[in-house]
Structure 1
Amino acid sequence: MQYIEVEKKYMVPDAEALKTKLRDLGAKPSEPTRQVDAYYNAPHRDFLAPEAISEWLRIRTEERGSSINYKRWFPVDEIIKTHADEFESKVDDVEAIRRLLQMLDFQPLVTVDKTREEWQLPNVEVVFDHVLNAGDFVEFEFKGDAETIDDATAQLDEFISSLNVELGEQIRRGYPHILLGREH
């Protein structure tokens, strides 16, 4: 399932309880890092036009390097998404990529400024995000082996359930949606 992302995101009312459980499972946190994600709209197709946004183009800048990322969620026309195609690559010269997008008439949409702490387990990556002007969140991303998206989703749900830690509301939209005031 290379290039496919299956993840679940929640508000996090008590990050320390969840971190304690992750430590008990043998996970260790990364050093928190600041990520600044600049999102762009395409000139040939308005990503914001559909009722349910299904794609983003992003440039990420952080201390450990920069990247460009395109993500398209499925089912495309549905409000609740199950997974995404995700294509990401490191970028050596982020300013060149910004200028390239500008010359091709890609327009800046929104910037997401967050602090991220990553926890790795064998089949799941857990990240804690503090997003400026949006709040605190936890994301669980499936990193194991699965034959299908449904299988990956079931394994992820089973892992989250096994934690026995109270999570907040499940968030079914990305940080750009939140900052742009979009429900879908």
Structure 2
Amino acid sequence: MKYIEVEQKFRLLSPVDELKATLTERGAKAEESSRQVDTYFNAPHRDFLGGEIISEWLRIREEAGSASLNFKRWHPLKEKIKTHCDEYESAISDAEAVRRTLAALDFTELTVVDKTREEWHLDGIALAFDSVTGLGDFVEFEFKGEAESIEQATAAITEFVDSLGIELGEKINAGYPHLALGIHPSV
């Protein structure tokens, strides 16, 4: 499932210590926390915000001296609740040059999402504890294992989350740019 992302996101209830303790007991380890600054852009030829349902994002991510360009198209396109996305991401050596290129091509900046992320990995699932400036704290569960279908990957995440036996908080069916722009496709 290369170039496909399947994830579930929850608003975190505090404290998160119980969840981290459970992960540690099961053998997971935290990676170093990092700050990610994501700048989202709108395309001049196709208004990402123009439709009733927003399904596409283009972003530059800057993190610890590195950067990447990322495009996501969420599916199903016409549904408010998305199950997965096409994700195309590549490292870039000069974020400012890419930003200027986009501006020269009439792409416009939509919003900036500034967050601190702590990642954990266990049983083919990447967990990201995100503290997002102005939005709060979240946990994302992204499928990283082998699956033959979107449904199988989704079921693996759901089974993993259920196996934790911990109340996580509200499930969020929106990306951080949705939330930052005040666009709530579903709650």
Structure 1: tracts of 5 or more residues without a match: none
Report the alpha carbon displacement of residue 64 of structure 1 after superposing the two structures with TM: 4.7
Task: State the match for 2:7 in structure 1.
Answer: 7
For the structure 1 residues 64 and 18, does the alpha-carbon distance in structure 2 shift closer, same or farther, using more than 3 Å as the test?
Answer: farther
Identity %: 57
Once residues 91 and 177 of structure 2 are traced to their aligned partners in structure 1, the CA distance between those partners, rounded to angstroms, is: 21
Deviation at 1:138, TM superposition (A): 0.1
Whole-Å Cα distance in 2 between the matches of residues 66 and 166 of structure 1?
A: 34
Displacement after TM superposition at 1:51 (Å): 1.6
TM alignment of 1:22-101, pairs within 5 A: 22-101=23-102
Q: How many residues align?
A: 184
When the two structures are superposed, what TM-score results if normalisation uses the length of structure 1? 0.98
Alignment-derived partner of residue 181 in structure 1: 182
Unaligned segments of structure 2, at least 5 residues: none
Q: Secondary structure at the residue paired with 1:50? A: coil
Superposition pairs of residues 131-150 of structure 1, within 5 angstroms: 131-150=132-151
TM-score (norm: length of structure 2): 0.97
Specify the SS of the correspondent of 1:2.
Answer: coil
Work out the CA distance in 1 between the residues paired with 2:134 and 2:29: 27
In structure 1, what is the Cα distance between the partners aligned to 2:88 and 2:122?
22
1:125-157: per-residue Cα shift (whole Å, max 9, x none)?
000000000000000000011111001111111
Q: For the aligned residues, what is the CA RMSD?
A: 0.8
Rounded Cα–Cα distance in structure 2 between residues aligned with 1:28 and 1:155: 20
